[in-house]
Amino acid sequence: MFRIRRYQRLFSAILFGAALTSMYTPLAYGQYSSSNYKVEETIFGSGGELDASSTNFRAQQGAGALGVGQTSSNNFDAFGGFITTNEPFLEMVVSNIDVDFGILSDSVTSYGSAQGGDCNCSFYIRTYNTSGYIVVTVSQPPATNGGSVLDAKTTQGVPSSDPTVEEFGINLRDNTTPNIGADPVNVPDNSFADGQAASGYEIPDQFKYNIGDTVARSQATIGNPAIGQTNYTLSYIAKANSITPAGNHIMNHDLVVVATF
């Protein structure tokens, strides 16, 4: 039996890590200034006010937008419409679920999916203005207190029927054999969020596992703002062989989500 859990970082720390490990592409905002003037937001319409304040209230105002929608090129994204925040946002919520394999066998593969919570999924990610993200798995396969660890299925493929093979693997798709799992679901639809299973974990009925692998991603493709929520379901397989040590194999599955700018 094992449990999925999240590894949470503050967003500022994620930004700092991304800047150290990859080429940084800055976001372009509508703030312009010179030695004499400053425009904090660009407004094309009948009117608007970025900071309308009184003693007790504060608001942003917009009126008569001349166009709404989103457009993209190789280097820029633009959103037309009323004033919205330009602050990036990244959230990961993990369902508190246990998956029980029962007694492992050398002749039959055990399997299960982690589905629960409001999304009936393993975890979901909500994002806004992050230009994409990756989800990395950082836990070792199920292990006993004595240190026996199930062999990871390091090459993507179908579950083995060989009684000499011990293996553990996952994927993030709707599978037929075994009949478990679900495909990633983008909310409200695929024209907003674009989360997907990553290479190695994206083929139904085939499984894999390596510590440090990217298992899911949002690529912020041209024409898709990568704004919204994606529900992900993790499916697991496990199999013993004749020399697998006896014991209760447990895995606390830690996942890390990192913004990719």
Kindly write down the DSSP assignment for every residue of 171-196, as one continuous string: E-S--SSS------EEES-TTT--EE
155-200 pLDDT, tens digit each:
999 999 999 999 999 999 999 999 999 999 999 888 888 999 999 9
Kindly write down the DSSP assignment for every residue of 201-250, as one continuous string: S-STT-BB--TT-EEEEE---TT----EEEEE-EEEEEE--TTPPPS--B
Please tell me the predicted confidence (pLDDT) of residue 227: 83
11-67 pLDDT, tens digit each:
322 222 222 222 333 444 455 566 766 555 555 566 666 667 777 777 766 665 555
The token pair that represents 164 in the structure block = 């000499």
Q: What is d(CA 48, CA 60) in angstroms, rounded to the nearest whole number? A: 8
51-105 pLDDT, tens digit each:
677 777 777 666 655 555 566 666 655 555 555 566 778 899 998 888 999 999 9
Tracing tokens 């990244």 back to the chain, one arrives at 90
164 secondary structure, DSSP code: T
204-257 pLDDT, tens digit each:
999 999 999 999 999 766 666 678 899 999 999 999 999 999 889 999 999 999
Q: Are 228 and 196 in contact (CB under 8 A)?
A: no
